[in-house]
Structure 1
Amino acid sequence: MPSQGTIGDRVRGLRLNRRMSQAQLAGPDLSDSYVSLIESGKRTPTPVVARLLAERLGCTTEFLLHGIEPRQRIDTELGLRHAELELRHGDPTLAADRFTEIVKAAGEENALLAAHARLGRARALEAQGKLGPAVEAYERLRREAAAHPERLADLPLTVALCRCYQRAGDRLRARDLGLRALEQAARLSVTQGEIAVDLAAALMETRSEHDKASAELDYVRQVLAASGIPEPMDRSAEVHALWKASVVAATGEDSALAVRLADDAIAAGRPARLTLQLARIAMGWARLAVSSVDEAEELATAARQVFATFSEAGHELGESLIVHAHVKLRSGETAQATELANSAADLLHDAKGTGPITAHLVLAEAALMGGGTEAAGHLQAARGLLESLNDPIYGTDRQAAMAWRSLGDLYGQAGVRKEQTAAYRRALEAAGVRSAMAGVATDASVSH
């Protein structure tokens, strides 16, 4: 049974396979010229006409309208849901493969399903840290959304691109996209729900801790105020049980039940995803200079509680401990800051990236504030870890530049000018400023 192309292509193909003329297909109810217009794509049949044509052509209305039989369609819908569960609660690499298979199976004649599968694949690439291919995929999807708004929504794609460009180091492009997304959200008055939370999280990533008040920060504050930080609840066991039940139902060819169980699994995991996103926003806000100490304390504490609830958020728990330690330093509570930073150092001691380095920097700062003698050891440890930082994960150069800059600041507080200048030089090198460095003694700043 032909399924390629448009509704008109399918009508014509089925009619020719059955050796029918346009007049025979039209019968007493329609005109042959109307059938000709449908086949040429100049008319779209109404639901009543589609049912009539399907009866005469010996196919289902679903196939005539969408190029796919009901069973095929429900199996494809189920595949999309299982791929989504794999992305959210399993292996993003496997999820990308599953989404790719759905794109091939759906084909262009099932444009809506194919578009959603391509979006899933882009998200899976992003989850793997493959930012270049993810950006290319998102950009193609944005062009498709502009041409076919009935298939894809532009706002989530703009938010995703903002996030990807930020993590890839293109902060100007990220901020531009963030502002575009913010304009759309403001026009729609969207301050709650998944899109709002994802946008606020993306905007938070584009801000530095010394940024002043802005429209972006105003929006983040609105989202935090509207949603708060929900009580964390880990329902991962329920998600996996429902997912497994869905797979078993699909094996038994009970596709409708399998889809329902998969929907329940996705719904069960949604609150945790939003809670984790809101905790990331809270942790980012607690870093900001515009936040009051009391506000930062409340948000840092809430973020810690959320990350402590979810076993997969161990690295983020370590980051939240460091943020909370910084808050304690702001309020002069050096003993509590030291305790939190030590906990972070223990949690992150084998972690990649700058987490362990930042923990030592906080410990050094606390020691300098408290007049302790441990500062030199922590500065040396931070420097050693920075020297060996060769991990090519996204964002490392900017993070390393920030860490070198903080190290230079602390060497300056300790009065070690030679090490301060060397650290500032390394900060500029990590940020990509190398061409005019020779022979220049500088304490030029690196934006946080």
Structure 2
Amino acid sequence: MPSQGTIGDRVRGLRLNRRMSQAQLAGPDLSDSYVSLIESGKRTPTPVVARLLAERLGCTTEFLLHGIEPRQRIDTELGLRHAELELQHGDAALAAERFTEIVKAADEENAMLTAHARFGRARALEAQGRLGQAVEAFERLRREASAHPERLADLPLAVALSRCYQHAGDRLRARDLAAHALRQAERLEITQGEIAIDLAAAIVEAREEMESGSAELAYVRRVLDVNGVPDVVDRSAEIDALWQASVSAAAGDDSALAVRLADDAITAGRSARLALQLARVAVHWARLAGTPVAEAERLVEAAAKAFATAPGTGRERSEALIAHARVRLRAGDLARAGELATAALEAAPDASRTTPAEARLVLATVALDLGGDAMGHLATARDLLQSLSGPMFGSDRQAARCWRELGDLYGRAGGRAQQTAAYRKALEAAGVRSALAGLPVNAAVSG
């Protein structure tokens, strides 16, 4: 376990343990008053002095400076990497537990390792959908980053918080944080890498239409132009093999090799992770009202291809197919829109999301545009939306949109009573039922 206290505490503790006086520890090279200043925390030894003191106290320089032996430090680094692999490719709940264990084992003298572990735990909480706890953790880390910029960077924390607030429904706070992060990213001219891509995703997810002259959306466009939507190569077997090899090396007391193998596993997953995030940015961009049809088509096709290749992204592939279907509706290609909506229904693995209902809404739109009967599709969409119970991660706003669209389509189909009921459900899903109580439903929805 790491030693508690400051450098001065360790110097004094070790000196007393060895029954040495300050003068004896100072020897011919230092003064006893200088040793006293170090022990009282009023002076920090230079690297040369730290090596000299460590030699006389019978410990390593690493322990004296950081309160942790080299083997303990490398084991902590290994723990961080295995927790990161668990977060990216395993169980987010288990990742949170592992990050928490590292936090408990570290102390103030190892503040950077502790900060990285706390950041990992906050991301694991977010991945589990525990948004309240994640926001609280990220906010604490931001305050610490302000006081200790040498430990933590504010930019990734602001991006993470923007994402969390967006999913929690606080769009104003999300946009403020994204704007703050954007100023930093533009000052540094960052348009590539994980931070830039995550920031682009946070910005575009909060938008519903193109905004002329928007600096935020101009940044998203630059990120998409620079990076595109790369093909995804499934390297999950390689990642699993490297991860298991790292675990085996650690069990055989070869920590240095275990860290190297874990680093290789993390690196192997990075390109696919960034490509999938770019695919999410592309889908959101294609959904924006005002995106040119040709541009939207190109991006959403690339996104659907990425999701089709990557394991465990069936839901996102269905969402990309729906986005593509809506692009074809805008282009007046009703047959292709219907094909894509049908494909999304077949690919949708999770009926607890809005995707199957959205597919039915697209099919209903196609039927109405062709002069056919859409009531069957509308009734199925209504039943699917009604089956969505309880708050879903980031989907309440989407559910409200679906109910509103359902109401619009019922209006086109002549189902006035169903239209009114759907609009009421839209208000409930948006969480504004009590605030708008007493207003005529059509006025409340259209205001």
TM class, shorter-length? over 0.9
- Aligned equivalents of 1:438, 1:3: Cα separation in 2: 64
- Aligned equivalents of 1:229, 1:179: Cα separation in 2: 24
What is aligned with 2:103?
Answer: 103
What is aligned with 1:409?
Answer: 408
Q: CA deviation at 1:183?
A: 1.0
Q: CA deviation at 1:89?
A: 0.4
Give the aligned residue type for 2:149: P
Equivalent residues in 2 for 1:224-235, closer than 5 Å: 224-235=224-235
Do 1:364 and 1:379's aligned partners in 2 also have CA atoms closer than 8 Å? yes
- Aligned equivalents of 1:239, 1:210: Cα separation in 2: 39
C-alpha offsets along residues 97-120 of structure 1, whole Å, 9 cap, x if unaligned?
Answer: 111111111223311111111111
Q: CA deviation at 1:394?
A: 2.6
Q: CA deviation at 1:360?
A: 0.6
Do 1:2 and 1:10's aligned partners in 2 also have CA atoms closer than 8 Å? no
C-alpha offsets along residues 182-211 of structure 1, whole Å, 9 cap, x if unaligned?
Answer: 111111111111110111111111112465
SS at match of 1:291: coil
Q: CA deviation at 1:44?
A: 1.4
C-alpha offsets along residues 39-81 of structure 1, whole Å, 9 cap, x if unaligned?
Answer: 1222211111110000001000010011000011101100110
Taking structure 1 as reference, are residues 85 and 227 closer, same or farther at Cα in structure 2, changes over 3 Å only? same
What is aligned with 1:383?
Answer: 382
Give the aligned residue type for 2:233: M
Q: Which moved more, 1:348-357 or 1:109-118?
A: 348-357
Give the aligned residue type for 1:186: E
What is aligned with 1:149?
Answer: 149
Give the aligned residue type for 2:402: A
Equivalent residues in 2 for 1:135-214, closer than 5 Å: 135-209=135-209, 212-214=212-214
- Aligned equivalents of 1:187, 1:210: Cα separation in 2: 24
C-alpha offsets along residues 301-339 of structure 1, whole Å, 9 cap, x if unaligned?
Answer: 000000000121010001000000001101111111101
What is aligned with 1:339?
Answer: 339
Q: CA deviation at 1:438?
A: 3.8
Task: Provide the alpha-carbon RMSD of the alignment.
Answer: 1.6
- Aligned equivalents of 1:439, 1:8: Cα separation in 2: 68
The normalised TM-score by structure 1 is 0.96
SS at match of 1:312: coil
Q: Which moved more, 1:102-111 or 1:112-121?
A: 102-111
- Aligned equivalents of 1:269, 1:125: Cα separation in 2: 21
- Aligned equivalents of 1:69, 1:76: Cα separation in 2: 11
- Aligned equivalents of 2:439, 2:62: Cα separation in 1: 73
Q: CA deviation at 1:274?
A: 0.2
Taking structure 1 as reference, are residues 18 and 209 closer, same or farther at Cα in structure 2, changes over 3 Å only? same
SS at match of 2:312: helix
Taking structure 1 as reference, are residues 2 and 368 closer, same or farther at Cα in structure 2, changes over 3 Å only? closer
What is aligned with 2:399?
Answer: 400
Q: CA deviation at 1:395?
A: 2.9
Identity %: 72
Taking structure 1 as reference, are residues 61 and 400 closer, same or farther at Cα in structure 2, changes over 3 Å only? same
* Unaligned stretches of 5+ residues in structure 2: none
Do 1:338 and 1:362's aligned partners in 2 also have CA atoms closer than 8 Å? yes
C-alpha offsets along residues 253-298 of structure 1, whole Å, 9 cap, x if unaligned?
Answer: 1111110000000000000000000000001100012210000000
Q: CA deviation at 1:441?
A: 4.1
Do 2:2 and 2:106's aligned partners in 1 also have CA atoms closer than 8 Å? no
Q: Which moved more, 1:209-218 or 1:123-132?
A: 209-218
Q: Which moved more, 1:250-259 or 1:203-212?
A: 203-212
The normalised TM-score by structure 2 is 0.96
* Unaligned stretches of 5+ residues in structure 1: none
Q: Which moved more, 1:232-241 or 1:341-350?
A: 341-350
- Aligned equivalents of 2:2, 2:96: Cα separation in 1: 28
Q: Which moved more, 1:381-390 or 1:117-126?
A: 381-390
What is aligned with 2:63?
Answer: 63
- Aligned equivalents of 2:108, 2:411: Cα separation in 1: 62
- Aligned equivalents of 2:224, 2:94: Cα separation in 1: 34
Do 1:338 and 1:363's aligned partners in 2 also have CA atoms closer than 8 Å? yes
Equivalent residues in 2 for 1:80-91, closer than 5 Å: 80-91=80-91
Do 1:211 and 1:288's aligned partners in 2 also have CA atoms closer than 8 Å? no
Q: Which moved more, 1:69-78 or 1:13-22?
A: 13-22
Q: CA deviation at 1:443?
A: 4.5
In the comparison of the two structures, how many residue pairs are matched? Answer: 446
- Aligned equivalents of 1:2, 1:149: Cα separation in 2: 23
Q: Which moved more, 1:230-239 or 1:264-273?
A: 230-239
Q: Which moved more, 1:410-419 or 1:133-142?
A: 410-419
What is aligned with 2:32?
Answer: 32
Do 1:2 and 1:14's aligned partners in 2 also have CA atoms closer than 8 Å? no
Q: CA deviation at 1:212?
A: 5.0
Do 2:79 and 2:102's aligned partners in 1 also have CA atoms closer than 8 Å? yes
What is aligned with 1:430?
Answer: 429
Taking structure 1 as reference, are residues 283 and 376 closer, same or farther at Cα in structure 2, changes over 3 Å only? same
Do 1:427 and 1:446's aligned partners in 2 also have CA atoms closer than 8 Å? no
Do 1:2 and 1:13's aligned partners in 2 also have CA atoms closer than 8 Å? no
Give the aligned residue type for 1:202: A
Taking structure 1 as reference, are residues 396 and 282 closer, same or farther at Cα in structure 2, changes over 3 Å only? closer
> Is residue 301 of structure 1 aligned with residue 301 of structure 2?
yes
SS at match of 1:311: coil
Do 2:208 and 2:289's aligned partners in 1 also have CA atoms closer than 8 Å? no
- Aligned equivalents of 1:289, 1:362: Cα separation in 2: 16
Do 1:402 and 1:446's aligned partners in 2 also have CA atoms closer than 8 Å? no
- Aligned equivalents of 1:248, 1:381: Cα separation in 2: 52
| Runs of 4+ deviating beyond 6 Å | none
- Aligned equivalents of 1:416, 1:2: Cα separation in 2: 69
